[in-house]
Amino acid sequence: MKKKVLIAMSGGVDSSAAALLLQQQGYECAGATLSLCDNDVSGARKIAEGLGMPFYVFDERERFAREVMDRFVSEYCAGRTPNPCIDCNRCLKFGALLDRAVTLGYDFIATGHYARVTYDEMAHRYRLLRGADRRKDQSYVLYQLTQYQLAHLLLPVGDYDKPAIRENAREAGLLNADKSDSQDICFVPDGDYVSFLQSQGVTLAPGDFVDEAGHVLGQHRGLPCYTIGQGKGLGIAVGKHVYVLAKNEADNTVVLGDNDKLFRRELTANRVNWIAGEAPAAPFRCTAKTRYSQVEAPALAEPLPDGRVRLTFDEPQRAITAGQAAVLYDGDEVLGGGTIE
């Protein structure tokens, strides 16, 4: 009997290619789109129908608003810089969608992420690996996956590079083979997250830009308008390039300074997920990165008794930012990660 897989389809080429590959591998496939914020499902539906697959639309707008959009707002209001795609993956794509798939009798879910899942026979556990195409690797946003989720997850595009995926889609006649990749947060399609925050009732409180000594340099528009490391769009001239070093909620100030002041070696992360299912018993060497676009760097990881993890990098890292994710690697394997405090 064929194994059944429910494929998360966005209308983009990667998830469409995932569906095509799984069909070619002999799975019984169906497509699904989560309705999250009035997103257009017509493209995904057309691709699924073109491949002769059933197609579902699951309404998860209420959960998405509560667990992703509301958290996005509250994190910015608390002075942090969140990554909503990670929250969406945790609670929607690999939470709600998997629950629905199991209820409907599917053996697996699948997505178009560039990462890989393998099973370690010696350790009797699943492993999450980077995508074969390092330039497109998306393992960073998947660090919250659990053993249960990995056991029910297929990532078929992870073994390919993007040109090969597009070529396979062209050969199959998929209409979106050359569709460009989306870079936007789905509920902030124009990239103007400050306007989104205001639409959610956030009132911006102007305050002072200050230097490290506390001298006032000018006026800022409100703490949510800035993130650590930002050097453009500050709207201030001080005779040299300056960057956001810190945001102080207590006195509503934004601290500006030189680029070299953005580098530090240590961080602590909470909400930690260890993909193996349990925390390592002792400190260990790894590589880690603190932003999606970074190259990982050598570090010492120290699991803490309260469930957090402390990272000490061999070399100082730029713009370590509260609210972003610190993700740990051992070679190609993702060990886990957490939210930077």
Q: Rounded CA gap, 229 and 237, in Å? A: 17
DSSP E strand boundaries for 132-261: 153-154, 207-210, 216-220, 243-248, 253-257
Number of Cβ atoms within 10 Å of the Cβ of 290: 24
Tokens at 248, concatenated? 């102080």
Q: Give the residue ranges of DSSP H helices in the chain.
A: 13-24, 42-50, 61-64, 70-77, 84-88, 97-103, 147-151, 162-171, 193-199
Tokens at 197, concatenated? 């925050």
How many angstroms separate the Cα of 252 from the Cα of each of 75, 207, 232, 246, 323?
Answer: 16, 6, 20, 11, 18
Q: Rounded CA gap, 30 and 8, in Å? A: 9
Catalytic residue among 37, 77, 85, 186: 186
- Best CA proximity match to 231, nearest among 220, 217, 245, 242: 242
Tokens at 275, concatenated? 């993909």
Tokens at 250, concatenated? 């207590």
Catalytic residue among 88, 91, 225, 286: 88
The answer to whether 225 is a known catalytic residue is: no
**13-24 and 42-50 helices, crossing angle to 10°:** 20
Which residues on adjacent β-strands are paired with residue 254? 209, 247
The answer for residues whose C-beta is within 8 angstroms of residue 325's C-beta and 6 or more apart is 83, 86, 140, 141, 143, 269, 290, 337, 338, 339, 340
Number of Cβ atoms within 10 Å of the Cβ of 63: 15
Phi-psi region of 279 (alpha: psi -120 to 50; beta: other; left: phi over 0): beta
The answer to whether 186 is a known catalytic residue is: yes
Catalytic residue set: 88, 186
